[in-house]
Amino acid sequence: MPSPGELTFVAPRGAKKPPRHLADLTPQERREAVAEIGEKPFRAKQLSQHYFGRLAHRPEEWTDIPAAARGRLSEALLPELMSVVRHISCDDDATRKTLWRLHDGTLVESVLMRYPDRVTMCVSSQAGCGMNCPFCATGQAGLDRNLSTAEIVHQIVDGARALRDGEVAGGPARLSNIVFMGMGEPLANYKRVLGAIRRLTDPAPEGLGISQRGITVSTVGLVPAMHRFADEGLSCRLAVSLHAPDDELRNTLVPVNTRWTVREVLDAAWRYADVSGRRVSIEYALIRDINDQGWRADLLGRLLKGRRAHVNLIPLNPTPGSKWTASRPEDEAEFVRALETHGVPVTVRDTRGQEIDGACGQLAASQR
Ligand code: SAH
């Protein structure tokens, strides 16, 4: 990866907004958009059925719509939003990463991960990220722009289609889980991410019909947006990227902590857990000699004890040029033990995709 000073790719200034797409619109707005171009409103439902129900976004596949109308409808409602730059697989093809180029040249990535009992897709909600966490590759390059709802949804629709069509090793399968853990801070692009969650969870043909329980939104801890998210009344899972139990260290690892403290972030998390009935996932990247000391594990245990929480320890995936690396195995084991002493459920995340630059943002960064 080039150093930040060598990054040559810059999104064109004043770039046009992403084209409007079916997946940006509510069912009512789809009917209006279809009527606007002089087509019968019922075509909106047909298009939704093709896009969300059959995962067929190309006009050639819409055989129940007259050929003459297909072009108009496609242009008005299903413009090409993004193209694949490349796919890279690893873990015996159980992990597949896709690098996408958006209409203005912006690059984003998504990852499909196959497990014995489920298939998870990790999607981007922004091109780049403005949160500036020093251990994260995406954070180093800054924010290019927000993705539109349809740009978020299409990563998933295409992943679901590739899976169904057997393009991913292991045979045809259904997408069961979505995690907003790709590039970007989802709660900083609130409206569009919420729109995407609606499209993903609305029953077919209006949406993809994925269970809310299978969706995880991961945040650095934007407290007002966390409260707003709680008020939506969804049963999605919330993940909080904590990475340190004390404000002093967290101010450096997750700089937005200077705005909302550990205490405020956790209070908002517990409120989300109460309202949604879901355990909150506390994400903690273990960084050697930075945040992996026994006393920090103990402090974390005391903060989480008796709460609806689960800790997900992530061995740091080192970003090129960074002096930080993953914790020693014995320190990781000790960290787990200390949390368990407090009765806090904890797992160590299996680190998929390391050899394909799987750490957040590395693939898009190395393309620049
Ligand atoms: N902005 C959101 C979601 C994207 S990052 C958030 O921060 O939660 C998804 C997760 O990957 C976050 O927990 C993030 O802190 C973590 N992450 C980023 N870079 C990483 C790295 N190099 N190694 C391990 N985890 C990393």
pTM of the model: 0.93
- Tokens matching residue 155: 């990563």
Residue 361 has pLDDT above 80, yes or no: no
Q: What pLDDT sits at residue 52?
A: 98
Query: How would DSSP label each residue in 320-357?
Result: TT-S--BPPHHHHHHHHHHHHHTT--EEEPP-TTGGGT
Q: For residue range 198-228, what is the model confidence (pLDDT) as tens digits?
A: 999 999 999 999 999 999 999 999 999 999 9
Q: Ligand 1, closest atom to CA 241?
A: 13
Calculate mean pLDDT across residues 9-21.
67
Ligand 1 contact via 52 beta carbon (within 6 Å): no
**Gap from CA of 359 to ligand 1 centroid (Å):** 8
Kindly state if the Cβ of 158 falls inside 6 Å of ligand 1. no
Could you tell me the distance, in angstroms and rounded to a whole number, from the CA of residue 241 to the centre of ligand 1?
A: 7
For residue 295, CA distances in Å to 30, 263, 266, 300, 302 come to: 55, 18, 19, 9, 11
Residue type, 142: G
Over the chain, what is the mean pLDDT? 91
Q: Is 316 in the pocket of ligand 1 (CB under 6 A)?
A: yes
pLDDT of residue 91: 76
The model's confidence at residue 322, banded by pLDDT at 50, 70 and 90, is confident
Cα of 180 from ligand 1 centre, angstroms: 10
pLDDT per position as a tens digit, 58-69: 999 999 999 999
Average pLDDT in the 35-39 region?
A: 95
Annotated active-site residue in 39, 109, 151, 332? 109
- Fold annotation for 22-77: DNA polymerase; domain 1 (1.10.150)
Domain covering 82-366, topology: TIM Barrel (3.20.20)
Which atom of ligand 1 is nearest to 322's Cα?
A: 22
Structure token pair of residue 241: 């990227």
Ligand 1 centroid to 136 CA: how many Å? 6
In the prediction, which pLDDT does 363 show? 52
The one-letter code for the residue type at 348 is: V
CB-facing half-sphere around the CA of 3: CA atoms within 13 A: 3
| Domain boundary assignment for the chain | 22-77, 82-366
Top mutation candidate among 314, 332, 356, 366 for ligand 1, by most atoms within 8 Å of CB = 314
Checking phi first, is residue 139 left (phi over 0); if not, alpha (psi -120 to 50) or beta? alpha
Q: In this structure, which residue's CA is closest to atom 1 in ligand 1? A: 185
Question: Is 236 among the residues known to form the active site?
Answer: no
- Indicate whether residue 51 lines ligand 1 (CB < 6 A): no
Catalytic annotation present for 360: yes
Ligand 1 site-directed mutation target among 110, 113, 136, most atoms within 8 Å of CB: 136
Which pLDDT belongs to residue 9? 41
Q: How far is the CA of 59 from the centre of ligand 1 (A)?
A: 38
